[in-house]
Structure 1
Amino acid sequence: MTFYDRDDELEALETAYKSAGHDFYVVYGRRRVGKTELLKEFCGDRAHIYFLAAQEAEHRQREKFVEQVADHFDDRIPRVEGWDDAFEYLGEKLATESLVVVIDEFPYLIEENDSLPSYIQSFVDEQLQDTESMLVLCGSSVSTMESEVLGHESPLYGRRTGQIDLQPFSFRQAREAIDDDLEDAIRSYAVTGGTPMYLTLFDYSRTLSENVREQILSPTAVLYNEPEFLLRTELRTPARYMSILEAVATGHTTPNEIAGATGIGSGPLSKYLQTLRRLRLIDREVPVTASAKHSKRSRYRVANEFLRFWFRFVEPDRSSIEGAPGVVYDGTIEPNLPDHVATTFEDICREAVWEAIRRGELGPYSEVGRWWYGEDEIDIVGLAPDDDRVLLAECKWTTEPVGRSLAESLREKAERVRWGPDTRNEEFALFSKSGFVDGLANELGDDWSLFDLGEMDELLT
């Protein structure tokens, strides 16, 4: 499998490895996001022990771990009675040779013995810190890694020398893996999102329709049951969480709308939403001009493009898909796909805004996000409090060129954005899949920037 990007994460690991003294790193993130590939790339030709935990009995996990350590040092396998003995043995060996030691899927070990973090604390404090070696704990269960390894009440709290919360690729990062022109790349990304495994399952020499039918709508395909599998690794009873995700993916974005769609009361719903946020499965948004902590105008959205696609198009029609996947694609998915892609396009335009800010093509802004109030909504609003300057932008994934009416509508809505003084400076931008009507740029003036797919391609490649 080709290794893509992750330059910043590799550099962080490299810097830690080359620094004096020991290192204790924590790497975590959602399943399929590329943690194992990152660590294998980092280990490369370095002396290392890579232990992949499995869901099996504790004694067998411990035996395999000790066997792997002994094998690396060409030593006879010692008899150990517990994890404290196993890590003491590892410590004795690290006193003779500096290594990178990776324990992948660490939460599987904690499932069998929740005292394991205490044993590792003793190992770090009493043995690892006197070496030049590096210990890396890695896991896909975000909740377990954050509570049992990184949490304030964990015995390991304060011991780590670094951590990587590995995120899915942005669209700009994903372009390396998507072998397509920008328009088709956006359509594909709207289905796969930035999860490396999902991206690389698609064959970009084929149509999006063929990829979706073969990689998602086939009951034998990996992605057909992927979201359900993902939830079951984190939650014992995922049914209600599934219904919430489906509600959000199908357009019910406020707490009241979600409660109405799922039949879950506001009290329990708040706890479910909090859990889904902690697991990085949904995001809570407020208008960019509002306080995230105090605003009551919150909306929720599924945090991953693939999950949003799956809960919108696959989960509601699974019985029909198993009987006639082609009919579901032609009758339900294809007609509604432009609307689904349009939401992704807004996110990609926001990426383009940040890149344009970095390049100086737009003024500097410290915050960029959506804005809404009542019936009014603006796709992108950027705030520069120090300069009393605001950016207002709209994004259109349509088949027709954008014309004057959209610009006039945006100017009108800008007057209702309550932020900054009356003398604030305003900058405007339009993003369009199908370009702009002739002469629009000259009519609008210097305070407007127009981005068609060509300009966006230059920013995002």
Structure 2
Amino acid sequence: MLQKFVDRARELEFMEKQFKREEAGFIVLYGRRRVGKTELINRFIKDKKHIYFFARRESAVDTFNRLSKELFKVFHDELLISRPFSSMDSFFDYLYEKAKEERFTMVIDEFPMLIERFRGLPSVLQDHWDNKLRFSKLFLILCGSSIGMMETEVLGYRSPLYGRRTGQWKVEPLNFFALAELFPSYSAEGLVKVYSALDTIPGYLVKFDSSLSVEENIEKRIFRKGEFLNLEPEFLLKEELRDPSNYMSILRTIAAVNSAFNEICNSSRLDKSLVSKYLAILENLHIVEKTFSVIATDKARLKGKGSYQIKDKFFNFWFRYVYPFQDYLERGEIAVVADFLSRDFNTYLGFVFEDVAREFLIRMKSESERETPLRMGKWWHRDKEIDLVILNETKKESVFFEVKWRELKRRECEKALEVLKEKSTYVEWHRKDRIVRYGIIAKRMDTDDKRDLRSKGYLVYDLDDFETLMRR
């Protein structure tokens, strides 16, 4: 697929506003690998005077030589070649001298790698920022993919750099609806499948060929040994963790289902204290998240009474369809895994479709409605569960949705709505004075059935409505 730059208007607007301020700028960009941080930076700096430096694992001498060469390209100062920087102090001193009278951008990409080489770097930068750089015209961008390290070493309260930044932005995956721009030939159903396999990570999306079906892409780009995506999650975990084996066992257990703590312990056969420790680390790395019933109180959340799920759909897909079948894939027996995928895919898509439905409803809202604080999520209690609930505390409005990844006939819709109404009576939220509505979001429904149910006050949508919203 040809690489396109989409769905980053807000990020660019933020960076431009920061840049146009008169005072020195110091912004922090961070986010998981392959999410498009570097491409975002390149778009921002393309029409500005800038120095771009990509940190890597190398000796201090090599780092200083490369830094000197990058600055030479901009300032044409022969001393940078004959006498390269010998310390981070000399580098920041040079930046200050050049930025006293002139605005330019200094980008340090993968800043955590520099910290690994120069452990005192945050303190050194703090000293130079407090005493010199903040009085200059410099626009400094620190960027990093190690989210945990960026949050502790740069953004965290205990970091020497705490409070120095003028702005920060966590670069998230694209919006689901951006996939329509990247894969215009795919239907809404095809885009849900793409999302289920790759999430909306730009660095992964470019690996799919839109002239092939999603299933063909999965076989050729994910299942095939040697392909970039085949072992990507394992490589990323090894970047963050010394020994990822136990973490991978836990992720396999969680994959594609919201798993309770005890279920994870039983399945992984690890001691509870170890599981608790590993889950906390995976949460800090933003790989796993704990989810709670939409009406869970702060007390319940503090007690941790929730379920765990993998945040990243690509990780989720990989730990469901690749990791358990690596022996087959190593031998090139892709057909065996593809057969399992064909039998299990709709079950997995049903889980993913709930997240897509949330994005659809958010997208449906007007700008004024988006400013209204809402709670949105799944509700569960004992043996009862509702796929999607929207709560408006201000107006005491509640909307209950059944989400189905299959075609629904009229009678099935009516039955689902009856069951939904019955389950909603158990939801302990303004039970006596709330305004209630009900709805269904399905893979496919008859147009006349949708129209009739809507005339009765139900909120009813299927992929045709997604398609309309995407192509708007």
TM-score tier after normalising by the smaller chain length:
over 0.9
Partner of 1:455: 465
CA distance in 1, matches of 2:319, 2:86: 47
Shift of 1:353: 1.6
Shift of 1:71: 2.8
Q: Does 1:337 align with 2:345?
A: yes
Change (3 A) 1:391 1:414: same
Q: Does 1:442 align with 2:452?
A: yes
User: Contact 2:224–2:332 (CA<8 Å) still a contact in 1?
Assistant: no
Partner of 1:227: 233
CA distance in 2, matches of 1:254, 1:60: 48
User: Contact 2:173–2:202 (CA<8 Å) still a contact in 1?
Assistant: yes
Aligned pairs for 1:142-291 within 5 A: 142-179=147-184, 180-249=186-255, 251=257, 253-291=259-297
Shift of 1:181: 1.4
Shift of 1:332: 1.1
SS of 1:423's equivalent? coil
- Structure 2 residue identity aligned to 1:119: V
Q: TM-score when scaled to structure 1?
A: 0.95
Q: Does 1:403 align with 2:413?
A: yes
Shift of 1:188: 1.2
CA distance in 1, matches of 2:215, 2:143: 36
User: Contact 2:294–2:379 (CA<8 Å) still a contact in 1?
Assistant: yes
Q: Percent identity?
A: 34
Shift of 1:429: 1.2
User: Contact 2:328–2:337 (CA<8 Å) still a contact in 1?
Assistant: no
User: Contact 1:357–1:365 (CA<8 Å) still a contact in 2?
Assistant: no
Shift of 1:363: 12
User: Contact 1:403–1:440 (CA<8 Å) still a contact in 2?
Assistant: no
Unmatched 5+ stretches in structure 1: none
Partner of 1:54: 56
Change (3 A) 1:177 1:443: closer
User: Contact 1:213–1:325 (CA<8 Å) still a contact in 2?
Assistant: no
CA distance in 2, matches of 1:345, 1:124: 47
CA distance in 1, matches of 2:368, 2:14: 28
CA distance in 1, matches of 2:418, 2:213: 37
Q: Does 1:101 align with 2:111?
A: no
- Structure 1 residue identity aligned to 2:425: E
Partner of 2:38: 36
| Aligned counterpart for 1:112 among listed residues 110, 117, 123 | 117
Q: How many residues align?
A: 461
SS of 2:467's equivalent? helix
Shift of 1:310: 0.1
Q: Does 1:385 align with 2:397?
A: no
* Range with greater deviation from structure 2 (54-63 or 108-117): 54-63
Aligned pairs for 1:330-369 within 5 A: 330-358=338-366, 366-369=374-377
- Structure 1 residue identity aligned to 2:360: A
Change (3 A) 1:277 1:363: closer
Q: TM-score when scaled to structure 2?
A: 0.93
* Range with greater deviation from structure 2 (438-447 or 418-427): 438-447
SS of 1:268's equivalent? helix
* Range with greater deviation from structure 2 (267-276 or 430-439): 430-439
Partner of 1:413: 423
Unmatched 5+ stretches in structure 2: none
Alpha-carbon RMSD across the aligned residues, in angstroms, is 2.0
| Aligned counterpart for 1:297 among listed residues 299, 305, 322 | 305
Change (3 A) 1:444 1:40: closer
Shift of 1:443: 5.5
* Range with greater deviation from structure 2 (124-133 or 111-120): 124-133
Q: Does 1:316 align with 2:318?
A: no
Change (3 A) 1:346 1:6: same
Partner of 1:136: 141
Shift of 1:126: 2.5
CA distance in 1, matches of 2:350, 2:366: 24
CA distance in 2, matches of 1:439, 1:333: 32
CA distance in 1, matches of 2:368, 2:166: 36
CA distance in 1, matches of 2:379, 2:74: 57
SS of 1:230's equivalent? helix
CA distance in 1, matches of 2:84, 2:422: 76
User: Contact 1:32–1:197 (CA<8 Å) still a contact in 2?
Assistant: yes
Shift of 1:62: 1.9
- Structure 1 residue identity aligned to 2:400: L
CA distance in 2, matches of 1:439, 1:394: 16
CA distance in 1, matches of 2:92, 2:48: 21
CA distance in 1, matches of 2:183, 2:158: 42
CA distance in 2, matches of 1:292, 1:187: 35
Change (3 A) 1:32 1:226: same
SS of 1:231's equivalent? helix
Shift of 1:214: 1.3
CA distance in 1, matches of 2:119, 2:201: 30
